[in-house]
Amino acid sequence: MASASSSTSRVRINHRLHSLYVRREWDECAALVAAEERETGGRSAYATELLGLIERHRGNVGGSLDLFEGALAEWPQDVGAMKQVARNLALLGRAREALSLLGEVQKLGEDSWEVWVTKGQCFRSLGKLEEAAECLVHSLVLQRSEKAYAELCEVKEAMGDLVGAVAAAGEATELTPENADALTTLGLLLLKSGDTPKGFTNLGWALALDPRNFRAILGAGSVIQDAGDFDVALIKYRVAAVAHPHSPELWNNVGMCFFGKERFIASISCLKRARELAPFEAKICYNLGITYLRTGQHASAFHHLGAAVSLDPEMAPAYAYMGVALARMDDLENAISAYERSLELDGSDAIVHLNFGITLFNFGEFQAAQGHLAYFEDLWELLDEEARADDPEVQEQHAALSQALEDHAGLTRDMRRRPSADADDDGAGIGA
């Protein structure tokens, strides 16, 4: 009778612990476990598991690992504890140890979808993306879950398979249509794949479910910002800043909104804040560089653009703008090297050829300037009419360079006819 009473009491306590845990009343849950431990002189496997999960939720993965390893030492065949130890090892970057333990779990007959998700995470951290994807797909065969879909989206994106990532994100939203995080992931992937309307629609649905979803706000804000509605984008970013005031992505976007509004001092201030928060982010350095270039601070522009290419040697636009900055500091040799490096990385950028031509013209290299003007015109014609009309300044600079080269050619012909003419003026300077 005493044993039955003890068993009933244990069930009642476990039920109470479970209720506190799922309501995220973790302090009360931990206090009840401690009270039970004092009263009985021991702790149940279930109570230990809950404490380990609570510590992980709080970010104390090391403490969670200690609890589950202690449980495993006391109950060596506890498969649940083994899975949680493996999960913590994976979170701590000890992927090989986690995979070894998961192998033991499977030998004991446990082959759940959660095991395969953890294996997928381990392979991903080891850089074995194909194996990671296979594990996650196998997990979904066993049971469709938000967690497996979320991991598969990230793996597919890392593999460069945007189509696969979008497909996985779409299936995730079918499984949980009111999950704001899943809708946000789908929206961001659609934006990345170039389907802006559908991406923006999904981000809107996510924000309807969760108006303070940070990733959705940043994504929607960037679309609005790209459309030139800087004030509307800034309103959205203010909402995000309340919950995430130390986000480098947020400060970068705000800085570029001010750039679009031609409030360059405010832009530089925000971008500097972004760089303090993420000093190794090449895009932020690049944005600082082009902002300094617009304000005429060419040495500062060169410094930040140089930092950008140090962090990302494949960033072709940064080399191109370095060429502009160097030209404005009268360093033609290095400006030419920067332009050429940009064109090596991306020879299809018409504007680089235009700026290169302008720089060469301003330094008296007229024949070379004519060559880059011709490249620009060929590439420019390949763009659709909307793209060409999007930047009237490019068309103005094109017209100015064309006219200047024509004037120079006319002056040269006139000099050949009248050798005594004054040839000091080589043509008007043009701003790259």
CB 237 within 8 A of CB 253: yes
pLDDT of residue 412: 59
Three-state DSSP class for residue 136: helix
pLDDT at 430: 43
pTM of the model: 0.80
Cβ neighbours of 228 (radius 10 Å): 11
CA angle 93, 96, 97 (to 5 degrees): 85
**pLDDT by position in tens, the chain (length 432):** 445 555 667 678 888 888 888 888 888 888 888 887 777 766 677 888 888 889 998 889 999 999 888 888 888 888 888 999 999 999 999 999 999 999 999 988 888 999 999 999 999 999 999 999 999 999 999 999 999 999 999 999 999 999 999 999 999 999 999 999 999 999 999 999 999 999 999 999 999 999 999 999 999 999 999 999 999 999 999 999 998 999 999 999 999 999 999 999 999 999 999 999 999 999 999 999 999 999 999 999 999 999 999 999 999 999 999 999 999 999 999 999 999 999 999 988 999 999 999 999 999 999 999 999 999 999 988 888 777 777 788 888 989 998 988 887 766 555 444 443 333 333 333 445
**Residues whose CB falls within 8 Å of the CB of residue 384, separated by 6 or more in sequence, listed in order:** none
Closest CA to 15 of 64, 80, 7: 7
Instruction: Name the residue among 314, 276, 343, 342 with its Cα closest to residue 288.
Output: 276
Provide the pLDDT for residue 390. 75
Six-digit token pair at 36? 């039970």
How many Å apart are CA 331 and CA 323, to the nearest integer? 9
